[in-house]
Amino acid sequence: MIVILILLIQIKLIFTKDPAYIRDYFHLISTTEKPLPLRKYYGMHHSSIDFYPGTMNVILSVPHDGDLRSNLPSRPKGACRKLNSSNRKCYYQNPCLSPQFQMDIKHCKISRGRDVNTRLLALALRYEFKALFHFTPYVIINRLERIKVDMNRFIDQGTFYRKDNMHAWMRYHFYLRHARELIVKNKNNYGGKGLLLDLHSHDHHERWVELGYLLPSRQLSRKGYNLKHSSFASYLTSLFEPIDLVSGNKSLGYFITKYNYSATPSPIFPSPPEQSYYEWGYIIEEYGRYGNFSAIMIESPARNMMNLTKLYKYAKSLAFALHEYLIAIEVFEVLATSENLEQSQITKQCNLSRQISAQRNLFLLLFFSVMSFI
Ligand SMILES: *[C@@H]1O[C@H](CO)[C@@H](O)[C@H](O)[C@H]1NC(C)=O
Ligand SMILES: *[C@@H]1O[C@H](CO)[C@@H](O)[C@H](O)[C@H]1NC(C)=O
Ligand SMILES: *[C@@H]1O[C@H](CO)[C@@H](O)[C@H](O)[C@H]1NC(C)=O
Ligand SMILES: *[C@@H]1O[C@H](CO)[C@@H](O)[C@H](O)[C@H]1NC(C)=O
Ligand SMILES: *[C@@H]1O[C@H](CO)[C@@H](O)[C@H](O)[C@H]1NC(C)=O
Ligand SMILES: *[C@@H]1O[C@H](CO)[C@@H](O)[C@H](O)[C@H]1NC(C)=O
C-alpha cells in the first residue's frame, strides 16, 4: 500500500514538474552573468540592487519582485486619512501623527504584493536580446521586498519617510537615471534615443498583456489619442500617427499579438476593460518622454509567469515582439541580418542536462521504492 502511494507521489512529481531543459534555461540565465558588485546595505549579505550593465539603448526595470529579508521597517497596509472628512488626501505617516487622523485601508490602501518572476523575465529577455540584436539591455532589479520599499511610487508612499527606506529608494532611482543618462548622452551610437521597459505582472481575468503609456482607458476607448501626456518621446509622434503607435501597426501590442499573446492596447483589443487596467506607474512617468527617451510599462498576466514552462515560451515570444518593435519604431537600427542570427546556445546544453535529469528521476524512483520495502 505504502509502496504504491509513494510510487504515485513520485510519478506525480515527475509529471507535474517543468521539463529539465526549462529549469536549466532559467538556471543558466540567472547564473551566466553576475550583476555588478555593488556595496551591500540594510543588514543583508546581498546587494539590494542587481545592476547588469547594457550595450544598447534599452533599460529593463524590475521594481516589484524583491524577496530578500532586510532590517528595514515595513510599510503599513494603509496610509492616514482625516476622520469624518470629505478630504480624500492620504498622508504617508506610520503611525498617524495626529489623533484626528487614522489609518484608512479602504481609501488609502498600500499595495505590497510581489510581481513574482518578473526578475526571471528580465534576465530571459536580456539573454534573448543578446541572440537577436547581438547587444544587451541594461537590467536593473530591486531585491528588497515591496512591503519595505515601493520603487514604483513617489517617495512618500514608497517609503513612509523612513530614513533607510528613502535611501534604498534613491539608490534604485540613481541607477535607473544613471543608465538613462548613459543612453541619452551617447548621441553617436543611438542619437540619444532610448526606451525603458518597466516589468510587472497582474491577475486580471482577461489575461491580456497590458501596456501602459500614461493613457487613461477612457481615452483609449474613444481612440482620440493625445500623446502630449503619454510616456512616448515626442520624436515618435512626429514619425508616426498616434493611432499606429498606440494600437496600430507600430504598436507594441501589435507585435505581441503577432507572437500569439493577447495584448491591450493592440489592433484586436484597442482598449482595456475600464475597471482593470494599469495605465500609470511612477517609473514610466518619471523616465518617459525625456528628450528622445520613452518608457512603457509591461504588465504580464500572472498565468504566464508562475509556471516556468509558460514563462519560457512567453519570454521568447516577448523577445521576438520587442525585437521587431524596436526596429519598427526606429529606436534600434538593424545591425544583424537574419543569416547571422545564431541559434541560441541553450539547445545543446539543454539536451545534455535533459538526459541527466531523466536518469536522476528514475534513480530517485527506484531509491524510494527500495526504501519503502525496508
Ligand atoms: C507548467 O505547465 C505545463 C504545461 O504548459 C505543464 O506540463 C507543467 O507540468 C507545468 N509545471 C508545473 C510546475 O506545474
Ligand atoms: C466621526 O463620525 C462618527 C460617526 O460616523 C462619530 O461616532 C465620531 O464621533 C466622529 N468623530 C469625530 C472626530 O468627529
Ligand atoms: C496594418 O498593415 C496592413 C498591411 O500593411 C494594412 O492592411 C492594415 O490596414 C494596417 N492596419 C492599420 C491599423 O494601420
Ligand atoms: C502562433 O500560433 C499559430 C497557430 O496556432 C502557429 O502556427 C504559429 O507557429 C505560432 N507562432 C509562434 C511564434 O509561436
Ligand atoms: C531627437 O532626435 C532627433 C532626430 O531623430 C534629433 O534631431 C534631436 O536632436 C534629438 N533630440 C535630443 C534631445 O537628443
Ligand atoms: C537535441 O536532441 C534532439 C533529440 O532529442 C536532436 O534531434 C537534436 O539534434 C539535439 N540538438 C542538439 C543541438 O544537440
What DSSP string describes 338-360?
STTPPPPTHHHHHHHHHHHHHHH
Contact call for residues 213 and 294 (beta carbons, < 8 A): no
The whole domain housing 352 covers 1-20+347-374
The pLDDT of residue 181 is 95
3-class secondary structure, 319: helix
What is the torsional sign of CA 221, 278, 60, 134?
negative
Determine the distance separating the centroid of ligand 6 and the alpha carbon of 352, expressed in angstroms. Answer: 9
Tell me, yes or no, whether 4 and 81 share the same domain: no
Question: For residue range 239-254, what is the model confidence (pLDDT) as tens digits?
Answer: 999 999 999 999 999 9
Contact call for residues 373 and 3 (beta carbons, < 8 A): yes
Looking from the CA of residue 100, the nearest atom of ligand 2 is 13
Determine the distance separating the centroid of ligand 3 and the alpha carbon of 231, expressed in angstroms. Answer: 24
Tell me, yes or no, whether 126 and 265 share the same domain: yes
Would residue 27 count as lying in a domain?
A: no
Instruction: Using a cut of 0.85, tell me whether the model's pTM lies above it.
Output: no
Tell me, yes or no, whether 13 and 162 share the same domain: no
Query: Among the residues of 217-293, which ranges form H helices?
Result: 217-222, 234-239, 242-247, 252-258, 282-287
Tell me, yes or no, whether 175 and 66 share the same domain: yes
In CATH, what number is assigned to the domain containing residue 149? 3.40.630
Query: Residue 276 — very low, low, confident or very high, per pLDDT cuts 50/70/90?
Result: confident
Task: Select from 315, 215, 228 the least CA-distant residue to 264.
Answer: 215
Tell me, yes or no, whether 104 and 225 share the same domain: no
Return the C-alpha cell found at 136: 544587451
Q: How many domains does the chain have?
A: 3
Would residue 28 count as lying in a domain?
A: no
Tell me, yes or no, whether 251 and 282 share the same domain: yes
Which residue minimizes the CA distance to atom 4 of ligand 4? 260
The pLDDT of residue 344 is 44
User: Which amino acid, 37?
Assistant: P
Would residue 25 count as lying in a domain?
A: no
Tell me, yes or no, whether 101 and 119 share the same domain: no
Determine the distance separating the centroid of ligand 4 and the alpha carbon of 260, expressed in angstroms. Answer: 6
Which residue among 86, 109, 132 closes a domain?
Answer: 109
Question: For residue range 90-145, what is the model confidence (pLDDT) as tens digits?
Answer: 999 999 999 999 999 999 999 999 999 999 999 999 999 999 999 999 999 999 99
